[in-house]
Amino acid sequence: MSQVQELERLVHEASGIVAFTGAGISTESGIPDFRSPGGIWTKYKPIDFGEFVASEEARRESWRRKIGSDRTMSRARPNRGHLALAELRRLGKLRAVITQNVDGLHQESGIPDEDVIELHGNATYAACLECQKRYELEPIVAAFRDREELPVCSRQNLAGETCGSRSARRCPSSPCDAPTRRLWLPISSWRSAAPSWSTRLPASLPWPSRRAPDWSS
C-alpha cells in the first residue's frame, strides 16, 4: 500500500480529522516560505518582538517589509492543497485547520474563519498591541507610504482617553504576522471539536507550533 493509499484509508476511517499546515502548502500559490533558499529569512533578519516594541525604527522596518510582502500575497489564490482541505470540510470530515501561515488562503478556499486556528496570526489586517482592536490595512498602508507614519490605536476608554494617548509606546499598531501572541493577533481559541493529538510534533517546529500537543491535552 502506497503512502497516498494509506493516507486515504486513515482519512476514510477517521470520524474527524484536523489538518496542520505550514508554508509548504502556500508555495504553490506563489508565496515563498521562510527557510528555503530564496526564502524570507535569507533576505531579512527577523525583528525580535522586544526590539519591535522598543524601537520606532524597528516598527517602521517591520511595516516596510509587510508592505513589500503584500505585493506577493495579494496576488496569491488558494491552490489544490487548500481546495482539497476545503472539500473535506464541506463533506464534514475536516474539523479544523491549524496553520502557521498568515495568508488567509484557507479561509479564501471556503473554510469558515472559526475553523481556522492561526498560530501566528493573519497578515491581512492589523490589530492593537494593547486592546486588540482590529484595523483594516488600506488606510494604514496609505499613510505609511506617504509619510512613513506609524499607526496608533484610536479606541477610547470610558474616560474619553484613546488607547494610543494612554501609552503610545505600549500601543503601537502592528502587522498581524509579527511573532508574538501579545500583538493584535486574531488567535482562535483551541476548540473542543478538535480531536486529541496522538503523536508528538517534530521538535524542529517553531514555537508555538511544537507546543500544540501540550495545549490540546
Report pLDDT digits (tens) over 82-122: 999 999 999 999 999 999 998 999 999 999 999 999 988 88
Task: Name the domain count of the chain.
Answer: 1
Top mean pLDDT of 1-10, 178-187, 191-200 is at 1-10
Q: Distance between CA atoms of 1 and 213, rounded to whole angstroms?
A: 29
CB-based burial label for 180 (10 Å; 0-12, 13-18, 19+): middle
Instruction: Tell me if 162 is assigned to some domain.
Output: no
Asked if residue 159 is part of any domain, the answer here is no
**CA angle centred on 200, ends 198 and 202, rounded to 5°:** 145
The number of beta carbons lying within 10 Å of the beta carbon of residue 67 is 15
Identify whether 67 is part of a domain.
yes
Dist. CA 80–CA 109, nearest whole Å: 10
pLDDT band at 216 (very low <50, low <70, confident <90, very high): very low
Mean pLDDT of the chain: 75
The domain in which residue 181 lies consists of 17-125+176-209
For residue 202, is it within any domain?
Answer: yes
Q: Catalytic annotation on 106?
A: no
Asked whether residue 187 carries a pLDDT value surpassing 70, the answer given is: no
Identify the three-state secondary structure at position 118: strand
The answer on pLDDT for 46 being more than 70 is yes
Whether this model's pTM surpasses 0.85: no
List all residues 6 or more positions away from 102 whose beta carbon is below 8 Å from its beta carbon: 118, 120, 121, 122, 123, 124, 176, 177
Specify if 95 maps to a domain.
Answer: yes
For 38, the enclosing helix (H) or strand (E) is none
Instruction: Provide the pLDDT confidence category of residue 174 given band limits of 50, 70 and 90.
Output: low
